[in-house]
Amino acid sequence: MKKLIYPAIFCMAYLATACQGNAPIQENPLIKESDRIYQTPPFAEIKPEHYSPAFDYALSEARAEIEAIATNPDAPTFENTIVALERSGKTLGRVSAIFFAVHEADATPELDAVAEEIQPKLIAYSNDLSLDPRLFERVRTVYESKDTLDLDPASETLLDNTYKMFVRGGAALSDADKERYREISNELSMLSLRFGQNVLAATNAFTLNIPAADSAKVAELPDFVKESMAQEAKARGEGGWTVTLQAASYVPFMTYSSDRELKETLWRAYNTRCLTDGPNDNREIIKKITSLRLDMAKLFGKPTYADYVLEDRMAGSVETVDSFIDELLTATKGRALEEVATLQDYARTSGLYGADFQLMPWDWNYVSEKYKNEKYAVSESEIKPYLELDNVRNGIFALANRLYGISFRENPDIEVYHPDVVAYESFDENGQLLGVLYIDLFPRATKRGGAWMTNIRNLETDDEGNELRPLISLCGNFTKPTDSLPSLLTFDEFETFLHEFGHSLHGLMASGKYPSLSGTNVYHDFVELPSQIMENWATEKEFLDMFATHYQTGEKMPQELIDKIVAAGNYLAAYANVRQLGFAMGDMAWHTITEPVTVDIAEFERDATAPAQITPYIEGTAMAPGFTHIFSGGYAAGYYGYKWAEVLEADAFSLFKEKGIFNREVAGSFRDNILSKGGSEHPMTLYVRFRGHEPQTQALIDKILE
């Protein structure tokens, strides 16, 4: 999905200088006040060489602000300590948000070098802040008197969060343990950065070219796949057709090619990324990361890193997460095995393959697509013509308007960080600016895989409550247009667009006097609710009729096709659920170790995920070395959160189904109690206020098995 840019109080940075080369820092486009509309970043002016001096300046400014709080001669109060910390480091937060948003989407070698240079400085500043005994004493004094302060819920949450940030940041540790904490956090930061760089490099390093002389190998492929492959080959100076490990290239080929040899080659390449000797090997990095995380947990008296992480999540404990995973796995594994067996039998009896055919992981997309096409008379090639990208985007915007009264308007005068990006102003129903949404949907070599939302600027407020609205980036790696075809999305890409748009709405609707409690600054196992609930509209005829028209004929997507999509999706729901549970089990295994891992990475993963293994295990492969979510993306001991949020969204969307999928009263309640509240109160309090009761796991089980 996305990488959260933490608010200023949690940002990481270091000591700074006041100039960039011979130019005054005030001329740096990252530092000087923007004269662009809505004070958006002047991306046309920002060059890689501007980032390091901007960070240095912002860090020195933040340090001065923190020092002023620590040395304030007045007795500590909520305003002069907690609120002062909240409002400190605005320049640092802004520079950090811009840099990391751009680096994720356009990681040039120059920006990679900047990241490696600034990361130790950022960690050092974060540690200096949270380990400062003067600051902690002031925060603790206010915290211990909170019962006498008569705080509103948001202020009480801010106080609790600030105190926890210091405690979890090592402020209460002994001097020796504080020093060890510094060492661990600095090393983890650099290892996580290297992990992500290795995955991107390994993904880009492998391509498979099919020469023009082997045209028979692509003859069966749909035109949109062949054209995309031909365009990829042309861009690389190759003849014929080229497949890469980017999802927009890899998935269509795996879905439509019957060539098991080529698909096995691709599948093994994808599932051995960073698993073999070479410059991108992540195996030792994983062992080091998990060992250091364990060491950190022990500093805080926790038996495992998961115990340390989960005390600050909705789930609350390892036992709760394990029980949750087990409940879902027990309820759905039998159905998942039936689905696998059905595809196995189909491949053997339909003439696709022989009677001795064994369904392997690289066969899954192809066989399941053929099965869908025959049993449900539906295939991606039948769906894609109705999902032309421009229409989909306009339809999603229209959905936001129907639900919340908000509108989007393209503004070409807003500068963007890459030519692929389009900027949209967003307004509420009263014409007030909500923020700017930057949409960046196509793959490129410098862009990490997957899809995500992030903040280019968080909500900012001044002492008078005046707001500087958020700038949100929505990124994907979707099917690109070709010389003869527009961008036609797969159904999965369509759902992904809806998902990330849900995150974007969460960010755009940020409100409140404390930016660190606004937007997506919520518990990790709550942040996926606003995104995953949006996917439910993907198969609602009333919504699809608003935009899903055939790009050639203009006819609306027929109900019969929608019914087939739903039926086909329901058929594989249990398999998809168990697959996700396997990822969550792997994550929890890595973060519930009590001793450093010494066995082979693939062996560890195989043993950890065995209960969820429902297709043949392939020796010598593993997903962990490419699992950026947990080793470089902030989801360590938190991947279960995707399924946790599915429970929330299944229960929440049932209210829309009951009252109407465009019901403004329900949508208004969801906005007022979920989207606009951010992390100002405990997520369960917010959820119950919206839904009227706590969510039950059975809601998701029923949805999977229906």
Q: Is the pLDDT of residue 3 over 50?
A: no
Strand-pairing partners, residue 28, are none
| Residue in the block written with tokens 């369509």 | 494
**Does 425 share its domain with 531?**
yes
Dihedral in degrees, nearest 10, Cα atoms 61, 64, 69, 72: -140
- Residues 125, 248: one domain? no
Q: Are residues 499 and 398 in the same domain?
A: yes
- The C-alpha atoms of residue 500 and residue 487 are separated, in whole angstroms, by 18
The set of catalytic residues is 500
Cα 237 → chain centroid:
33
One-letter amino acid for residue 203 of the chain: T
Is residue 122 assigned to a domain? Answer: yes
Other beta carbons within 10 angstroms of residue 459's beta carbon come to 27
Q: Count of H helices and E strands in the chain?
A: 27, 11
Residue 544: count other Cβ atoms within 10 Å of its Cβ: 23
pLDDT at 380: 87
Q: What is the pLDDT of residue 378?
A: 84
The model's pLDDT over 213-271, given as tens digits with 9 standing for 90+, comes to 999 999 999 998 999 999 999 999 999 999 999 998 999 999 999 999 999 999 999 99
Is 551 exposed, middle or buried, given 0-12, 13-18 or 19+ CB atoms closer than 10 A? middle
- Res. 19: pLDDT tops 80: no
Question: How does strand 467-468 pair with strand 460-461?
Answer: antiparallel
Q: Is residue 324 one of the residues assigned to a domain? A: no
Per DSSP, helices labelled H in 350-431 are: 364-375, 380-383, 389-404
| Residue 80 pLDDT level (bands cut at 50, 70, 90) | very high
DSSP H or E run through 640: none
158-175 confidence digits (pLDDT tens): 999 999 999 999 999 999
Please tell me whether residues 40 and 86 are part of one structural domain: yes
Same domain assignment for residues 223 and 81: no
Judge contact between 595 and 313, C-beta under 8 A.
no
Find the largest Cα–Cα distance for the chain.
83
Domain for residue 609, yes or no?
no
Q: In which band, very low, low, confident or very high, does the pLDDT at 22 lie, cut at 50, 70 and 90? A: low
Cα 434 from chain centroid (whole Å): 22
Closest CA to 342 of 378, 368, 365: 368
The answer on pLDDT for 381 being more than 80 is yes
Q: What are phi and psi of 208, to 5 degrees?
A: -125, 115
240: which 2 tokens?
Answer: 């014929």
**How many folded domains does the chain comprise?**
3
> Measuring CA to CA, how many Å separate 20 from each of 15, 481, 701?
14, 41, 57
Q: Give residue 464's pLDDT band: very low, low, confident or very high (50, 70, 90).
A: confident
Residues 101 and 217 in one domain: no
- Domain boundary residue, one of 270, 293, 319: 270
User: Cα separations (Å) of 465 from 138, 369, 469, 514?
Assistant: 25, 54, 12, 10
**Chain Cα centroid distance, residue 630:** 11
Instruction: Answer yes or no: do 392 and 535 share one domain.
Output: yes
**634 pLDDT tier (thresholds 50, 70, 90):** confident
Taking only the tens place, the pLDDT of each residue in 578-587 is 999 999 999 9
- Report the half-sphere exposure of 699 (CA within 13 A, side-chain side): 17
Residue with tokens 């004493």: 137
CB 317 within 8 A of CB 576: no
Domain containing residue 122: CATH number: 1.10.1370.40
Quote the domain boundaries for residue 439: 385-571
What pTM did the predictor assign?
Answer: 0.86
Domain boundary among 270, 297, 325: 270
**Cα 198 to Cα 206: distance, rounded to the nearest angstrom:** 13
Residue 415 and residue 521 in one domain: yes
Domain-terminating residue out of 571, 589, 619: 571
Q: Are 71 and 167 in a shared domain? A: yes
Average pLDDT, the chain: 93
Phi/psi of residue 19, nearest 5 degrees: -150, 160
End-to-end CA distance of the chain: 27
- Whether residues 29 and 100 share a domain: the answer is yes
Q: Is residue 653 part of a domain?
A: no
The reply to whether 185 falls in a domain is no
Does residue 96 register a pLDDT over 60? yes
CB atoms within 10 A of CB 172: 15
Q: Is a pLDDT exceeding 80 seen at residue 390?
A: yes
Q: Residue 100 domain-assigned?
A: yes
Mean pLDDT of 521-550: 96
Whether 686 has a pLDDT exceeding 70, the answer reads: yes
| Of the candidates 85, 217, 215, 222, the residue with the CA atom closest to the CA atom of residue 515 | 85
Beta strands in 430-498, from DSSP E residues, in sequence order: 433-440, 452-457, 460-461, 467-468, 471-475
Same domain, 150 and 217: no
Same domain, 457 and 502: yes
Task: Express each pLDDT in 84-94 by its tens digit.
Answer: 999 999 999 99
Closest by alpha carbon to 209, among 237, 232, 234, 242?
242
In a domain? residue 649: no
Nearest-angstrom CA–CA distance, 478 and 496: 9
Classify the phi-psi angles of 427: left when phi > 0, otherwise alpha if psi is within -120 to 50, otherwise beta.
beta
| pLDDT the model gives residue 546 | 97
Query: Model confidence over 650-664: pLDDT tens digits?
Result: 999 999 999 999 999
Cβ atoms of 423 and 436 within 8 Å: the answer is yes
On whether residue 360 sits in a domain, the answer given is: no
